[in-house]
Amino acid sequence: MTSIKNFSRIAAAVAVVSVLAVPVFAARGSADFTRFVAIGDSYGAGVSSGSMNERHTPFSWPAVVARQAGAPQFVQPLVSYPGVGNELQLVDVVSYPPRIVPATGSGTPLNTNFAAPFNNLSVPGANVRDVTTITGGEQNPQGTAQMFARFILRGLGTEVQQAIAQRPTFIAIWIGGNDVLGAVLSGTPAALTPVDSFRTSYNAMLDQLTTGAPTAGMIVGNLPTAPAGLPLVNTVAPFIVNPVTRQPIPGPDGNPIFYVADLGGGTIGQLPAGSVVLLTAATKLASGTGIPAAFKNIPPFNQLPNVGTPLADNDVLTPTEIAAIVARATEYNTVIQQAASSRDIPVADINGLFNSFGSGVNIGPFRFTSGFITGGLFSLDGFHMTDIGYSLFANQYIRTINAAYRTEIAVASIANFLENNGAFFPDENNLVIEMSEDAVASILRFATPVKKRLRAAGH
């Protein structure tokens, strides 16, 4: 038998493998991480639970890649806790919906006087056009990206310009999430970037990078195409749930009674089957919004003040809207694949990674899903990832780099997130939980030895 303490030591010496097979790509440059830079958005910045702060930035996917690849320097912009966007905290899991509130206090950017561009240039809120247009020096900044750029880009140039200025030897890019997922977050496909605009901006970005850093290795990633992979859209049922039993309330025909909402263009009606209600509408639902007026005098709904008030258009996505988002995301991925392959840039399959989250990911004895709060992959805002989620995201990049550049960079272990909690017990030295050798062997089948040497072509 093997104790949990011994397993903890074993886990610390292994790295969790990624869950997806990776094809072989042609690749420009070499896997030289001497001067490694990253271009991206809030995922690249490690935003978690609605906040960019120093507790999660070290686990941004670019930072994980940098650590695993042995980059000698990878400086990121830091913000003191509770961050820009105070980090969300779960304070009551028993209530319905669970009570989640922002941490108190205010965060402050910490290293704005760093004398050079940051290695991680990811700007929360940035879309594909922003990486070649926003500098952080805009007067009267508007929107999320320009606000964050003030202390990340600091007026020193765009993400692309600052990347080139560092004479990078390797560039990792994930951009476009806000072009597609921003439409999910806002509850309308009207927020989608037109395909022609996306194509022009994406190619402009790669043209500038390949011209400005012609010998650098590069990697990009594709985009999730299925909104259902996010807790933002897969947590709240689109039909009325009894707040006491938490079970669907059947109508006269025995089927669930769907909420009433603005279905688009001011048309009010019950949601059709296949619709989703965004997690951000949970508080509204708790007050009775979305429940048909016929329930005003029926307990316990007669206690809710907003029964009869429809949900807003941006609280919901109808099947037609979902289909439009999926179709556009698929078109974006075609653009990315064509733009990257024409320049010999490998593409990490982030779409496949997100699809795997929907069915759940087994890592040893642990199972991670896209479930809200309990799934382990997505944070309390239902949109951004946890530190574990970002590590798996990074691993997909690492495996693609290995396949394209014939390197053997070890994927990141999640063991540090799962270490035993002996310190919480009065006598941790005597804490022994037995685990069978078969169980340990099963865990090790999902792991690969840590390799500290990077064997890269030309490195």
Domain architecture of the chain: domains with CATH: 15-228+320-417 (3.40.50.1110), 239-273+276-317 (no CATH)
Lowest pLDDT segment from 39-48, 89-98, 194-203, 299-308: 89-98
Q: What is the mean pLDDT of the chain?
A: 88
Q: Is 81 helix (H, G, I), strand (E, B) or coil?
A: coil
How far apart are alpha carbons 45 and 138 in whole angstroms?
Answer: 20
Residue with tokens 């206690």: 303
SS in 3 state form for 55-78? CCHHHCHHHHHHHHHCCCCCCCCC
pLDDT band at 448 (very low <50, low <70, confident <90, very high): very low
Q: Which two tokens stand for residue 204?
A: 């402009």
Average of per-residue pLDDT across 124-128: 98
pLDDT band at 25 (very low <50, low <70, confident <90, very high): low
> For helices 61-69 and 387-405, what crossing angle results, to 10°?
50
Distances (CA, A) of 400 to 85, 310, 350, 394: 32, 46, 11, 10
- What does the CA dihedral 234, 60, 132, 340 come to, rounded to 10 degrees? -80
Average pLDDT over residues 181-205: 95
Between these two residues, 226 and 146, which has the higher pLDDT value? 146
- The pLDDT value recorded for residue 36 is 98
Q: What is the pLDDT of residue 98?
A: 82
Residue 444 has pLDDT above 70, yes or no: no
Between CA 459 and CA 453 the distance in angstroms is: 11
Residue 408, pLDDT > 60, answer yes
pLDDT band at 153 (very low <50, low <70, confident <90, very high): very high
Query: Higher model confidence: residue 13 or residue 218?
Result: 218
pLDDT of residue 8: 46
Does residue 139 or residue 438 have the better pLDDT? 139
SS3 content of the chain, % helix, strand, coil (to 5): 35, 15, 50
Does the reported pTM lie above 0.75?
A: yes
Average of per-residue pLDDT across 380-393: 97
Average pLDDT score over residue span 26-41: 96
Distance in angstroms (rounded) separating the CA atoms of residues 403 and 399: 6
Element (H, E) at 262: strand 260-262
Q: What is the pLDDT of residue 71?
A: 98
- pLDDT over threshold 70, residue 457: no
Task: Report d(CA 109, CA 57) in Å as an integer.
Answer: 12
When pLDDT is averaged across residues 189-204 and rounded to a whole number, the result is 97
> Among 320-324, 354-358, 424-428, where is mean pLDDT lowest?
424-428
| Secondary structure (DSSP) of 146-179 | HHHHHHHTTTS--HHHHHHHT--SEEEEE--HHH
Residue of 1, 8, 39, 11 whose CA lies nearest to 345: 39
Q: What angle do CA 82, 84, 89 make, to 5 degrees?
A: 40
Q: Is the pLDDT of residue 451 over 90?
A: no
| Pairwise pLDDT comparison (282 vs 431), residue with the higher score | 282
Distance separating alpha carbons of residues 133 and 159, to the nearest angstrom = 8
pLDDT above 90 as % of the chain = 75
Q: What is the pLDDT of residue 20?
A: 55
